[in-house]
Amino acid sequence: MADANPKPLWLLAEVTYRCPLHCAFCYNPTDYVRHTKNELGTGEWISALRQARAMGALQLGISGGEPLLRDDIEELVAEARSLGYYTNLITSGVGLTEKRIAEFKRGGLDHIQLSMHDITKEINNFITDTNTFALKKKVAAMIKGHDYPMVLNVVIHRYNIEHVAEILEMAEAIGADYVELANTQYYGWALINRAQLMPTREQLEKAEEATNRFRAKAGNRMKIYFVVPDYYAERPKACMNGWGSVFMIVTADGTVLPCHSARVLPGLEFPNVRDQSLEWIWNESPAFNKYRGDGWMKEPCRTCPEKTKDFGGCRCQAFLLTGAAENADPVCTLSPHRQVVDEAIEEAKNPPAQVRPIVFRNDANSRKLAEGARDLVPPGVRGLP
């Protein structure tokens, strides 16, 4: 249920959009090059952390891009811990050294979430467009060595979905405590590359079966979250648990967002922590109030009994796939636009003979997309992701 007095319990600090990896499924904005200058400084981050904590924020994710490209993460972690946050460093592992991890431990970092991509070097290196396979294993051992809970995040797509059983075995072998098998959600770069990344329904069902077999065999030792890809669901996800309900993102240049990809939405001006207090941004700003509650809803959501469960799904997905953020998330089978999702599913089953090349997340491609290169965006996608 929507809370009459919502608190930003979850704060995500996307401290930089710079990243040594070039993953084809990245959800970061495709025009991220616009936001890599003017990154917030250490003092500005500390002020944001203090403000959000005073508003009730508890869970802190430090993410990016690759957060370890900044040299002040140790300082931010120590400050976050002293403020009482539960702090999670979300990293590719690139840039994590013995010295830095020891400093994080001293500062009170609670856990590290490491991205892994596959059991094979070939697919790891292909999908990230880097040579990082050996490094990831080394970093996993380092995390274990420092007695952190180990959370592995594996983004699932057509290139690794048939390896789910082996990925889980690898995770168990390196001592993971939690594994997120996060099926790709189609935002940002992932939407650009949807035709190449989306698995078929059959592949998905087999992956779920493999996960359940592993759970039955391994028991509770390792917790596994299988994040279902919403295109294959009948109802939308309760995106962010509702707009401006529990989640707030402060991004690299200080822009504050209610969800990862809100920047794509037209007609909204997102406030900046350099200009306004987080208190005003969360409570008063037009952007954070735009889709709060259900006053904005159109049919079929407005009179739907499930609107208190899924809040009409995702505004960004509605905009990207139907052209209007107020529409129902087209994943919902009650949406008059569901056909755009069915077409993408059909395309996954019968890929066109001429598959477009993957557009990797890198500065050159981002500059092209920032300049409005529509030819890189798949047909049927209404907004620029």
Partner 1 sequence: MTSPTPVSRADVFGLSKLLRLQWEKAQDCYVLLYPEGMVKLNGSAGEILHRVDGKQSVDDILSDLKRAFPEAPDLDADVIAMLEAAIERGWIERKNG
Positive/negative CA dihedral, 14, 18, 19, 25:
positive
CA 216 vs. chain centroid, Å, equals 28
How far is Cα 32 from Cα 29, in angstroms, rounded to an integer? Answer: 5
CB nearer partner 1, residue 225 or residue 280: 225
Q: Considering the rule CB under 8 A, would residue 113 count as an interface residue with partner 1?
A: yes
Interface pick for partner 1 out of 84, 266, 351, 372 (rule CB under 8 A): 84
Residue of 56, 95, 323, 380 that binds partner 1 (CB under 8 A) = 56
Asked if 5 touches partner 1 (CB under 8 A), the answer is no
Q: Please give the C-alpha separations between residue 97 and each of 135, 138, 291, in angstroms, as whole numbers.
A: 11, 10, 42
Give just the sign of the alpha carbon dihedral 281, 286, 292, 293: positive
Cα distances (angstroms) measured from residue 272 to each of 30, 96, 293:
20, 30, 23
Comparison of 149 and 380: residue with beta carbon closer to partner 1: 149
Q: Between residues 112 and 195, which has the closer beta carbon with respect to partner 1?
A: 112
Kindly tell me which residue out of 58, 218, 233, 370 binds partner 1, with binding defined by CB under 8 A: 58
Tell which positions 294-353 bind partner 1, by CB under 8 A: none
- In whole angstroms, the minimum distance from the beta carbon of 101 to partner 1 comes to 16
Q: How far apart are CA 61 and CA 156, in angstroms?
A: 21
Residue number with CB closer to partner 1 (106 or 349): 106
Distance between CA atoms of residues 328 and 14, nearest Å: 28
The nearest distance, CB 86 to partner 1, in angstroms, is 4
Residue 175 in contact with partner 1, rule: CB under 8 A: no
* Residue 192 binds partner 1, judged by CB under 8 A: no
Smaller CB distance to partner 1: residue 176 or 192?
176
Measure the CA angle with vertex 228, ends 57 and 200; round to 5°: 150
> Count of residues for the chain?
385
Contacting residues toward partner 1, per CB under 8 A:
7, 9, 56, 58-59, 84, 86, 88, 110-111, 113, 147, 149, 151, 177-178, 180, 220, 223, 225
